[in-house]
Every structure is written in C-alpha cells, then in structure tokens.
Structure 1
Amino acid sequence: MAETRLIQSRYRLLDLIGRGGMGEVWRARDESLGRQVAVKCLKPVGPQHDRDFIRILRERFRREARVAAALQHRGVTVVHDFGESEGVLYLVMELLEGRNLSQLLEDNKQHPLPVPDVVDIAEQVADALGYTHQQGIVHRDLKPANIMRLDDGTVKICDFGIARLGADIGFTSRLTGTGIAMGTPHYMSPEQISGGEVDHRSDLYSLGCVLYEIATGVPPFDMDDAWAVLVGHRDTVPEPPRTHRAELPGFFDRVVLDLLAKTPEGRPSDAGDVRARIALGRTGEQPQAGRVRLAPPVPFEHPARRPGGQPPRLPSWTRDMTTGHKARSAAYSGTAAIDQALALTGAWTTGAVGPPRTGAFPPAGAGRPTPSPELLATLASRHSAGLNLGRLGHWEEAGEAHRAVAAERALALGPDHPDTLASRYEVAFTLSRTGRAADALREFGQVAEGRERTLGPDHPETLAARQETAYVLGQLGRHFEAHQVYAAVLASRERSMGPDHPDTLRCRHNLAFSLSRLGRLEDSYRMAREVADARSRLLGATHPDTLVTLYEVAYTLGRLDRWTEALQTYREVAQARAVTLGAHHPDTLSARYETGISLGRLGRSAEALELYRALADDRTRVAGPEDPETLRARHGLAVNLGRMARWDEALAESREVCAIRERTLGPDHPDTLVSRREVAVGLGWLGRWADALSGYRAVADARERVLGADHPDTLASRNDEAHCLEQLGRGPEAVDLYRRVADLRRQRGIPPH
C-alpha cells in the first residue's frame, strides 16, 4: 500500500511497523478525530487461494474484530473500528507506546526481568484475563509477544485474533475444522496439544509459561525441536522456577507451578483466583468476596487416561511444525517484535485448505452436487489427522483414516480429483510402511494413472506417484523394474524441471541407489558423487540432503572395497550431522555405526571396538537397551572383540545380544539369526565345534525355512555347517554338503566364493 493511501477515506497510513505472512500493521492517522492509531490490514488474497478458504479467512477476521471490539478493560488493547476497503480487511486499534515482553527480555540480553516487574506483570495480566474470561472469551495464543508493557507501566494483552466465543462453539468449531494451526508451541497447554476442547484454563497454562520465562529467562520446556517442546508440555513436570532463580518469592513459585498443572482441573479455577493469590503474596491484600464466577468448564480428558490403552497423540496441525520464536530469540528486534505483538496471528497466515492445486482438474462431475465448504474443511482436517498418525508411526491407524477420507472425497469430488488422489497416495504410503508392498504398488500405480489423466504425465504430483512405485518395486526386490521407472521419471523431471531442481536430484539419488542394488557399483558411485556435488553446491555441504547422498557414496565405496575412502566419507558425514542435527540424532548415530564397519574392514579393530562401545552407550541413552539399533551397535562390539581374539568376551556379548533379539524380534528375525551365527563363530574359535555345528545348522535351517534353500544367505550358512563338519573330522558329510551348495549356486547363477 502506498504511504499516502486512505482507508475508507478516514485512516491515512503513515509508517509500516510490522509485517506477517499475509498481514501488515501500520501507524496511521485517524483524519476524523485527529489521533494516531494502529491499522492492521489483511493483504489482498491472490487467485492461488481457494475461494472457500478466503471466505473462512474473512469470517475469522470479522469474528476477531467483533470479539476484540467488545472488550473494554485497561489490560486489553482497544479496538476502535473494523471493515473492508477495496478488498482489504482492516482493524483499527489504539497505538501502543511501549515494549512487548519479548522485546523486554531481548533488551535485557535474555536475562530474566526484575522480580518486582515480574510480579507486577503477573498481577496485571491475571486481572485482564479474569475480565476476558468472564466475557466468555479464551485467547488461546497467550505468549510474551502478545503482552505489552507500556511506558507508564500498564500491561496490555494484544491480539485476540484466535480467540473463541465460548457461547458460539458450534460456529467456531466449523472454522477450526480447516486444520489452521492455533497457538505457539512453547506456550501451549496439554489439552491444546492433544487436540481436545479448551476453556479458560488453557490460557492459565499459557500464562504460567509466560511467567516462567520472564522470571527465569527460559520457557519451561526450552528445546529447539517443536515435537520435543509439545511432548514436554504434555508429559514432563517442569522444574520449579526457583531452581533457576533463588530470589523469586515462594508464593510466585507455587502460583506458576499450579498454573502449569498437566490437567485443567489441577490449575486454579480462574484468573481471578490467580490475581488474588499474587496480590496476597505481594501486599497481604485479601481476595475480594462475591467475585463473579465463571460458567462450569468444558470437561477435558487427559490423553494418558484414555480407555483402551491408546497412546497419547499430537493433533494433525502439528505436522511439519516448527518451534516458532521464543521470547529470547534474536528475531525479536526492531519492527519484527512489533509485528509479533500486533500483526496477524498464525490463524490468519496459514495457507489454503487441503493439498496445493497446482494443475487444472475437472469439475466434481456431471450430476454430482457441489460439496459444502464445511464437508471439504472436515475432510481436509481428517486428512491432516491421518498424516499426523503416520508421523507418529501409527501406520495402520493412518491407513484407516486415509481410506475413509479417500472414499468420501471420491463420492463428493470424483475419483480423479486431486484431493481424492492425494488421499489415495497416502493410503499407498501407509501400505508400503506396513509391509504390504504389493498392495502399495497397485495403489501407487492407480494414483499415477489418475494424476496423469488429470494433471498430465510431467506434472510433479504424477511424477511423485511414479517415483513411489519405483521405491516399492525396490522393496519387492524388483530392482531392474525399479531402475527402469526411476530412469523414466528422471528423464521427465530433467525435461520439465531442469537438472538441478531438488526433485530431480532426489530422483537421481534414488536411481544411484537402485544401480547399486543391481550390482552396477561404478555407475552408482559416479551418479551418487555427482548428486552429492550438486546438492552441496545448491544446498550447502552440511544440508541433510547432501549428507544423505554422501552416505550413499560411502556405502558404494565400501562395496567397491575402497574402504579408506569409505571411512573418510563416513567420518565426514558423521561430523557434519553432529553439528547440523546433533550428536545423538539417529542419522548421526547411523553414520558413526558405518564408520565402525569401515574401521573393522581396514583391520583397525581396536578403534572400531572403542567406537562401538561408545555408540552402544549413546544408543542405550537415546532409545533404551533393547532398541534394535542399540543391539546392532553391541553386535559390532562383539565382532571386533572376536577380531582381537578376545573370544570369551565376544561370545558372552553375542549370547546376550542374541537372547534380547530372540525375545524382542523373534527367533527367525534376520538380526536374531546374525547373532546366532556370531555365537557359533565364537564357539568355533574356542574349539567347541560340536556346539558350533548345532548353532550353524539352526541358522541354516531357519534361513531355508524363511528365505528358501537357494537363497545366498541360506547357502552361506550351509557352507558354515560344512566347515564345522570338516573340523569335527566328518569329511564325507562335509564334502557332500559342499557339493550340494555348489550345485545350488550354479543353478541360481551365483558365482562361487
């Protein structure tokens, strides 16, 4: 907007003081009354946005305006006017002179605020919340950036942009069904996180988080990963504020811990009670009698007490969530801080409902009634819930959710509508993650055909479905077919997107992987190296995608017996991941494991032994002693003990790992059989050949039962068995078994060892 523009011939926009994803806040002059005001504007929405979303967005804006304009309290920002001018929605508010709590912490170099200020702010905010709650309004996004301390010491709550009228839950529930995220992770209540209904006591929890931060300098759950923050709110008891700052008064410590109770019923009954407790602790003032009480709260069931033992879940809108800005972030400086206090909230800056519509698609179909916006919003929300279930690893439940949504979308929109195909794509994805690769292949194939009809053969979503068919073909061991599909998709991506597009590079990475599985190691290495170099150039040397491809480069180098280069590359990946992702991130630990493999292959068993010992300890701390990756690290430890001829220790370690694997994974699991073989190896080196023979034979029998008599792993186990027979002096039996193995190798075309 131009600097001189007038809104409704009345509000002259002067200076831009804040900007959000789709909103701006301007200092303006009210020409009618001659006063300075703040004008919040919603930017014009372009044609790329869904019309239903635009309608919902405008309803949200008008609802916020009416809610905010109805509030009259010294602790709440005054709203003077609202409306729409030339397609721009606007809200006119008092212009506040002061700093929000985020800025105050930033000004104080992330140190907590003085104790008297903290207590005064707490009392004023509690008083303002008590008033708004009595009006039936829940803020739902209370955070330091939404609380202003004016130059005269007055504290005001800003931005009721995602407030909800308690008396009109039905209307706002329809709006929130769009899956638009509400709240900021560091200040969200457990009931918000778990997707349940919230009442005024959710604001009390957020108030507890804010007070904790301004009093100690850090939020109660101070992690950079959004999921860790959310789970902390839901499951972890916070440390008392006084453990961070001993000079805080005892009454304040107790008030904050009560506000941070995990269940609403464990918190104070209302903000008035909080204000009274603070006043009593601060001055000895007694609570006022006969204060207005709030209506009974909405019942909330804590997820930990759900029937049927269902695990607590996080709601659909937390998918791909970031932590946002904590008050101590450097992002709160200059106009950015004003933006956080006054500009549009997350409720206004979310993208359109449902998957992006990047191509033309046919109408719902002849004779099919136009589905209601409410139905579309509900289905979009359920689609997001299915995505979230998958992210939590609940693949079966995710598949059920997506199948139901796909069926309803097919009826409402048609079988080839992009939203229907998006749901079917997710159905296929859950099938591939639950071991039903053949079913996943069929579903991905049908999605690819539908997208080709609707969007065209070179559309990114068509290519994504075809690329997933290649992945599933690899799962099924059909590597040649997978290679053919990857090659065709790559040619299309290079033609339509260019050679350096991230999706093109991802496809080339997958093609390098399939070449490796086909035994074309030199081709695989060359392509992976090219992709790694391209990703490093475009994304940076330490970007996770670059490191994934470097990991594949190292793997291929190992298969080419270029172990010195493999070791160097694995170490490079492990060091970069430790810096980028953290020392205990699963990807970092995986690179360390492969570093140990390389050390062992190079005969540097003492170094490998120390690496695996440390890795096993780290895996145990991160995932527990029975996690498969912990056991894999301990297996590597046992192998290198054996390589150093410490066979008694190696045998003891292998037996313990084998017992845990048999109990947790099953007797015929591949990892269990690897451990049983390692036990047999140790027995053989200790001269206990009869016991070793029993172990080798049991492994061979299990592999034959599971994999077939001519599988390479089965044949290797039969060779082990024959070697034991030889050591026991049973030469004729050994020769006969060697011959049978050789015949099976020839029949399968497997070269002899």
Structure 2
Amino acid sequence: GGFADIYQGKHKLGRVCVKVIRVIERECQAQLLMAFAREVILWAHMSHENVLPFYGVYAFTASTQKICLVSPLMDNGSLREYLKKNPATPRLPLVQDVVNGLLYLHQSKIVHGDLKAVNVVVSDDGRALITDFGLSYIAMTTLMDSTKANTAHTLNWTAPELICDETPTRPTKASDIWSFGCLCYEVFTGLFPYYQYKSSGQVVLALTRGQPPKRPPLEDLACDQLDDRIWELLVEACWRIEPQDRYECEALRDALIGNGVRQRRSKVGQWEGQKSAFWADMRSRSESRIDNGRVKSILNQVSPWCKSDRVPR
C-alpha cells in the first residue's frame, strides 16, 4: 500500500491482513499514533456490508514500536486486482457496492480521502468493501510537510480543489464524489483517469484547467462497460468543477442503484463475531493489564487534537 507494508497473518480464526504503517522518522512515532488513534477508533465501530471490518491495532512485540492494523484477509485482493483476474465480471454491481459503502461513511460523518480501486477489496462472495478511509491522508500529512502532502495525493483520482488551492486543503465529501467518479472510470474502462498523460505535471495542468477525465475511444478501452447513461452521470454528478455543484452521495446512490441491484446476504455478523473472538484470544495471551484511568487520559488528549485537525465532516 501507499502508506503501509502489507503482510498475511495467521490466527486460529483464519488468516488476517496486517498493515504495518511506515514511519520515516522515529520522532514522528508519537505524532502518528495520535493522528491515527481517532480514525482507527472510528473504523473499529463501523459495521456495514460494504466497509471492510477492522479487528484493531496490534504490536508484534513491545520492542518493535510498530503500528499494525489488523483486518480480515480478502483472497480476491483489491478491486483493481480482482477485475484484472476476472475481466468478464459485471462492473455495475461492484460500483453500487462502493457507493453504498461511501454513503455509509458520509452518513457517519467520515470522509474517505483516497478513494480508488486499490483501496477497495472484494470478498469471497464478490462484494466490494471500502477500506483505508482517512488513513492515507493522515499518513501523508503527518510524515510530510504541507507542500509535499498537497502533491502526494494520487493525482489521477484527486479533485481539482485539492490540487489548485494555494493553501493545503483537506479532503471533503465533495472531493470523495469526484474520486468516486474516477473510480467508476477505472472500473468501467479498465483505464486510469487521465491515462493519456505521461507525466504528473500534465495531470496537474488538466486539473488546474478544470478538465475532467475524457471519455476514451473504443480502441483504447481495456473493458467496454461504460455506456452513455453511466458516462453522463459521471460528468453531471461527480465531475463538476465547483464542489458544491456535485451530487451528494445519497443522490448519486439513487441514480446508480435501480431494479437490477444484486441482493446479497450480509456477512457483517460473522465478521463481528470473529473480531470479538480475535481480541478475546489476544487478551488471553497477553501478560499486560489495561490501566483504564490511563486509557481515559489518553483519549481525552486525543479527542480535542483530532477535532481540530481531522478530515472535515
């Protein structure tokens, strides 16, 4: 991943995905921990069939000083990987999954901040689940100065206002909608948005000019599931230059989801049970005892810091 090294882990309940957050400077460790604390707590309380469940934070040993995020392992990998392996897969149901998950986040007053196909995974039953919301942005802004952070976004999926503003601008719900449109472009065409440009400078120039991604000609398409109705929706709903002119997520969901939506049996309950069992097992193996007073003190310190410096609602 862009901000973490990813490993497979084994647990008696099954395999897990362990993301070890990269910390460039050791003195950044405490700052990064504080920045991640609130977002991780929020992720742990999310429960939706299109949001990847989160088991928690774990350190391999006390000496590693590593921030490790633990979640279920999805054998199908990211949405990008899944579509490469299964090119004939219908794309619309997967996009519907993503917009459902994004709506849940936005209704929970959470901004993703880095929405693209590589930050969506696919479950065994072919359901798309959003992951890594808020975390990529925190990693970038904590470990880099503001100038670098503002250009460190994945440009091809980034809303123009995040690139063009003179002062560093945080992701918003409206910038998530732009990125969702770019994710749809990626899913329906098999191409990255702005694929025709060879350098990041060309992408930045297109964004500063207010140019949305262009519809690719048939000969360029890696996948041809982008019909006129979907294309018009992307242009009208997602890629308006002024953020306030873009659709809100609920209206976008309503436009995308019609009579053909697939109904799936949710596995949220199963994952919640696995999460509880996972941490019960971790506690049984640990010799440490939780100091509840200390936990309360830390959370009181984290809360005001995060309220003033978190991704906006």
**Equivalent position to 2:241, from 259, 262, 265:** 262
User: Does the C-alpha gap of structure 1 residues 126 and 176 become closer, same or farther in structure 2, counting only changes over 3 Å?
Assistant: farther
Q: Is 2:155–2:204's contact at 8 Å kept on the other side of the alignment?
A: yes
Aligned residue number for residue 138 of structure 1? 111
Aligned residue number for residue 186 of structure 1? 156
Q: CA deviation at 1:196?
A: 3.1
**Equivalent position to 2:198, from 224, 241, 246:** 224
Q: CA deviation at 1:164?
A: 7.5
Q: CA deviation at 1:66?
A: 1.5
Counterpart CA distance in 2 for 1:162 and 1:21 is: 10
Query: CA offsets per residue over residues 486-512 of structure 1, 9 Å max, x none?
Result: xxxxxxxxxxxxxxxxxxxxxxxxxxx
User: Does the C-alpha gap of structure 1 residues 247 and 55 become closer, same or farther in structure 2, counting only changes over 3 Å?
Assistant: closer
Counterpart CA distance in 2 for 1:104 and 1:58 is: 32
Aligned residue number for residue 17 of structure 2? 38
Q: Is 2:174–2:243's contact at 8 Å kept on the other side of the alignment?
A: yes
Report 1:238-387 matches (<5 A).
Answer: 238-240=213-215, 248-258=226-236, 259-268=238-247, 270-280=248-258, 283=260
Secondary structure of the structure 1 residue equivalent to 2:90:
helix
Q: Is 1:25–1:41's contact at 8 Å kept on the other side of the alignment?
A: yes
User: Does the C-alpha gap of structure 1 residues 27 and 238 become closer, same or farther in structure 2, counting only changes over 3 Å?
Assistant: closer
Q: CA deviation at 1:71?
A: 1.4
Counterpart CA distance in 2 for 1:265 and 1:241 is: 27
Q: Flag structure 1 segments of 5+ consecutive residues without an equivalent.
A: 1-19, 166-171, 286-373, 375-753
Q: CA deviation at 1:253?
A: 1.3
Q: CA deviation at 1:147?
A: 1.2
Tell whether 2:107 aligns with 1:107: no
Counterpart CA distance in 1 for 2:84 and 2:261 is: 32
Secondary structure of the structure 1 residue equivalent to 2:57:
strand
Q: Is 2:35–2:142's contact at 8 Å kept on the other side of the alignment?
A: yes
| One-letter amino acid of the structure 1 residue matched with residue 203 of structure 2 | V
Q: Is 1:61–1:89's contact at 8 Å kept on the other side of the alignment?
A: no
| One-letter amino acid of the structure 1 residue matched with residue 181 of structure 2 | G
| One-letter amino acid of the structure 1 residue matched with residue 128 of structure 2 | V
Q: CA deviation at 1:141?
A: 0.7
Q: CA deviation at 1:148?
A: 1.5
Report 1:542-691 matches (<5 A).
Answer: none
**Equivalent position to 1:89, from 48, 52, 67:** 67
Counterpart CA distance in 1 for 2:76 and 2:36 is: 25
| One-letter amino acid of the structure 2 residue matched with residue 144 of structure 1 | A
Report 1:319-468 matches (<5 A).
Answer: none
Q: CA deviation at 1:63?
A: 3.4
User: Does the C-alpha gap of structure 1 residues 229 and 62 become closer, same or farther in structure 2, counting only changes over 3 Å?
Assistant: same
Counterpart CA distance in 2 for 1:153 and 1:74 is: 12
| One-letter amino acid of the structure 2 residue matched with residue 183 of structure 1 | H
The structure carrying a bigger helix percent of its residues is 1
User: Does the C-alpha gap of structure 1 residues 37 and 227 become closer, same or farther in structure 2, counting only changes over 3 Å?
Assistant: same
Counterpart CA distance in 2 for 1:22 and 1:122 is: 25
Structure number with larger C-alpha Rg: 1
Secondary structure of the structure 2 residue equivalent to 1:138:
coil
Q: CA deviation at 1:208?
A: 0.7
Counterpart CA distance in 2 for 1:164 and 1:134 is: 20
| One-letter amino acid of the structure 2 residue matched with residue 63 of structure 1 | R
Higher relative contact order (CA 8 A, sep 6+): 2
User: Does the C-alpha gap of structure 1 residues 254 and 94 become closer, same or farther in structure 2, counting only changes over 3 Å?
Assistant: same
Q: CA deviation at 1:70?
A: 2.1
Counterpart CA distance in 1 for 2:31 and 2:244 is: 33
Secondary structure of the structure 2 residue equivalent to 1:27:
strand
Q: Is 2:76–2:82's contact at 8 Å kept on the other side of the alignment?
A: no
Q: Is 1:212–1:241's contact at 8 Å kept on the other side of the alignment?
A: no
Tell whether 2:6 aligns with 1:25: yes
Q: Is 2:189–2:226's contact at 8 Å kept on the other side of the alignment?
A: no
Q: Is 2:194–2:214's contact at 8 Å kept on the other side of the alignment?
A: no
The alignment's C-alpha RMSD in Å is 3.3
Q: CA deviation at 1:100?
A: 1.6
Aligned residue number for residue 171 of structure 2? 198
Aligned residue number for residue 265 of structure 2? none
| One-letter amino acid of the structure 2 residue matched with residue 274 of structure 1 | L
Q: Is 2:95–2:184's contact at 8 Å kept on the other side of the alignment?
A: yes
Counterpart CA distance in 2 for 1:274 and 1:79 is: 26
Tell whether 2:102 aligns with 1:129: yes
Q: CA deviation at 1:125?
A: 0.5
Q: Is 2:111–2:134's contact at 8 Å kept on the other side of the alignment?
A: no
Secondary structure of the structure 2 residue equivalent to 1:221:
coil
User: Does the C-alpha gap of structure 1 residues 226 and 105 become closer, same or farther in structure 2, counting only changes over 3 Å?
Assistant: farther
Q: Is 1:138–1:163's contact at 8 Å kept on the other side of the alignment?
A: no
Secondary structure of the structure 1 residue equivalent to 2:188:
helix
Report 1:143-182 matches (<5 A).
Answer: 143-162=116-135, 178-179=145-146, 181=149, 182=152
User: Does the C-alpha gap of structure 1 residues 28 and 78 become closer, same or farther in structure 2, counting only changes over 3 Å?
Assistant: same
TM-score (norm 2): 0.68
Q: CA deviation at 1:138?
A: 0.7
| One-letter amino acid of the structure 2 residue matched with residue 238 of structure 1 | P
Counterpart CA distance in 2 for 1:135 and 1:284 is: 23
Counterpart CA distance in 2 for 1:253 and 1:241 is: 11
Query: CA offsets per residue over residues 14-38 of structure 1, 9 Å max, x none?
Result: xxxxxx577432222335xx33322
Counterpart CA distance in 1 for 2:124 and 2:107 is: 28
Q: CA deviation at 1:241?
A: 5.8
User: Does the C-alpha gap of structure 1 residues 256 and 176 become closer, same or farther in structure 2, counting only changes over 3 Å?
Assistant: farther
The count of aligned residue pairs is 248
| One-letter amino acid of the structure 1 residue matched with residue 30 of structure 2 | R
**Equivalent position to 1:56, from 31, 34, 52:** 31
Query: CA offsets per residue over residues 372-419 of structure 1, 9 Å max, x none?
Result: xx9xxxxxxxxxxxxxxxxxxxxxxxxxxxxxxxxxxxxxxxxxxxxx
Q: Identity over the aligned pairs, expressed in percent?
A: 24
Q: Is 2:114–2:154's contact at 8 Å kept on the other side of the alignment?
A: yes
Q: CA deviation at 1:58?
A: 2.0
Counterpart CA distance in 1 for 2:121 and 2:8 is: 16
Moved over 4 A (4+): 174-177, 241-247
Aligned residue number for residue 293 of structure 2? none
Q: Is 2:91–2:225's contact at 8 Å kept on the other side of the alignment?
A: no
TM-score (norm 1): 0.30
Secondary structure of the structure 1 residue equivalent to 2:122:
strand
User: Does the C-alpha gap of structure 1 residues 71 and 125 become closer, same or farther in structure 2, counting only changes over 3 Å?
Assistant: same
Secondary structure of the structure 2 residue equivalent to 1:205:
helix
Q: Flag structure 2 segments of 5+ consecutive residues without an equivalent.
A: 263-304, 306-313
| One-letter amino acid of the structure 2 residue matched with residue 266 of structure 1 | D
Counterpart CA distance in 2 for 1:96 and 1:105 is: 14
Q: CA deviation at 1:247?
A: 6.1
| One-letter amino acid of the structure 1 residue matched with residue 132 of structure 2 | D
Query: CA offsets per residue over residues 226-282 of structure 1, 9 Å max, x none?
Result: 1211222332243246876676333211121121222212211x22211110123x6
Aligned residue number for residue 52 of structure 2? 77
User: Does the C-alpha gap of structure 1 residues 120 and 56 become closer, same or farther in structure 2, counting only changes over 3 Å?
Assistant: same
